[in-house]
Structure 1
């Protein structure tokens, strides 16, 4: 499969889908607190997507080859869960960290983003992991420009994370996105600079590093979807959908409630 280059009309439609996905995270932010269940977060997100935004929740019944249909409208991955955690009736506890991953479909176009939340009062180590994973994502984003290569993104993320004593999950990666949930290219969060595909204006893909406090090895938890760290160390993930522009990049999944962009982004680092 080849990488699709989006037209101006395509990009305009994706801006809408991506903005709506980010808006769902802003809505959820007020509800992530001790005692709430991830099923309740799923219900709130589903109702907002369907009844307010007129969107389709892309994860619901999504079934790539070899998988059972995903049973919920969002993914909620808690503490040592790396990704694809399935919402359930277990209440969140003070000190938990949770990733909420949202993908909307609006007028046939996908918007994909995720955010970490610290439940109540998190530990210094948990808050550090969440912040450094956010920074790692942005270290990758700032490498996006025409003529750069996908390997430049992965290298920037890997180098930053490993210099902080963290590890990068390698089995899952970012991806092209558009009319399909997952398109080419694969966007690795590790690698060598100057390798892999050359970035061109009109490419749209996600950057979504999964960073572990411990070792990088992972395993499947037994429900067919949820991925966890083998050593049960904490794991964090952030995700933005990014457009390659004529001069650099545009982050499509921005919203008023998202955390501040790191200072090094505007400093040109």
Structure 2
């Protein structure tokens, strides 16, 4: 395992990349409404990232089982947990949810963040899924301090969601991040306190709960990218990139502009 601790200067460069990702997600959010296709959202994201001097890191990302990823965002609708492929055939409808995962490379460092958006009027039970998933992310971040372990994050997220009746996807995890989009260590959303990699100041990781309304069992669609719930019930996904500190973690990405646009916090 190769874990690269970042200097303060490098953390600031990572903050720039992650704040750009947050602004990109907000720009995409401005266009999320019934009748819009996920391919339209993808084009908006790519143009915004490139106009701000960065490169969309998802585009062309290799797949050992199929073709490279074709989009600049992952757009995962309803029962698609993650890695949804943008398409002009996927038209958003009133009552849908769509998780938009985005990465950007700026000044040699990566940003990575995800937000699950409501499309029009969404049912109360789905809103609760989103609210609990996002809250579990922040609780996981609270556990992410130097001297703690990756398992402290995982158990915190797992307990919070499972106690409220939701499933935690096991096959997909958060990850280290820096000059590469995916670095060591893996950061599962389940685990046992005191286990796993020791967290040290200067580590940068992406924490990303992937939470299902029903069973945690997943499958993959024929596109060899889109991961779906086996029972086809909705799933939510929220992600922040953080820097580990001796005390409270430093959140490098931001939902502030998204939540301002929404006018409410889920």
TM range (shorter): over 0.9
**Would you say 1:217 and 2:217 are equivalent positions?**
yes
* Cα contact 1:155–1:191 (8 A) shared by 2: yes
Match in the other structure for 1:6: 6
Match in the other structure for 1:85: 84
Q: Tell me, in whole angstroms, the C-alpha distance in 1 between the residues paired with 2:204 and 2:232.
A: 33
Q: How does 1:164-183 map to 2 (within 5 A)?
A: 164-183=164-183
Q: How does 1:68-107 map to 2 (within 5 A)?
A: 68-89=67-88, 90-107=90-107
The DSSP-based 3-state class of the residue aligned with 1:11 is helix
Q: Tell me, in whole angstroms, the C-alpha distance in 2 between the residues paired with 1:140 and 1:256.
A: 19
Cα deviation 1:120-166 (Å, max 9, x = unaligned): 00011111111111011111111011101110000000000000000
Q: How does 1:164-243 map to 2 (within 5 A)?
A: 164-243=164-243
Shift of 1:258: 3.7
Cα deviation 1:182-232 (Å, max 9, x = unaligned): 000000100111101111000000000100000000000110100000011
Q: How does 1:133-172 map to 2 (within 5 A)?
A: 133-172=133-172
Following TM superposition, where does structure 1 have runs of at least 4 consecutive aligned residues deviating by more than 4 angstroms?
none
Q: Tell me, in whole angstroms, the C-alpha distance in 2 between the residues paired with 1:144 and 1:98.
A: 27
The DSSP-based 3-state class of the residue aligned with 2:228 is strand
Match in the other structure for 1:57: 56
The DSSP-based 3-state class of the residue aligned with 1:44 is helix
User: When the two structures are superposed, what TM-score results if normalisation uses the length of structure 2?
Assistant: 0.95
Match in the other structure for 2:264: none
Structure 2 gaps, min length 5: 261-266
User: When the two structures are superposed, what TM-score results if normalisation uses the length of structure 1?
Assistant: 0.94
Q: Tell me, in whole angstroms, the C-alpha distance in 2 between the residues paired with 1:62 and 1:97.
A: 24
Cα deviation 1:83-139 (Å, max 9, x = unaligned): 000011121000000000010000111000000100000011111111111011111
Q: Tell me, in whole angstroms, the C-alpha distance in 2 between the residues paired with 1:136 and 1:222.
A: 31
Shift of 1:64: 4.5
The DSSP-based 3-state class of the residue aligned with 2:193 is coil
Q: Tell me, in whole angstroms, the C-alpha distance in 1 between the residues paired with 2:205 and 2:147.
A: 16
Match in the other structure for 1:45: 45
**Would you say 1:108 and 2:108 are equivalent positions?**
yes
Number of residue pairs aligned between Structure 1 and Structure 2: 259
Match in the other structure for 2:263: none
The DSSP-based 3-state class of the residue aligned with 1:68 is coil
* Cα contact 1:19–1:255 (8 A) shared by 2: no
Q: Tell me, in whole angstroms, the C-alpha distance in 1 between the residues paired with 2:75 and 2:208.
A: 15
Alpha-carbon RMSD: 1.1
Shift of 1:259: 3.5
The DSSP-based 3-state class of the residue aligned with 1:120 is coil
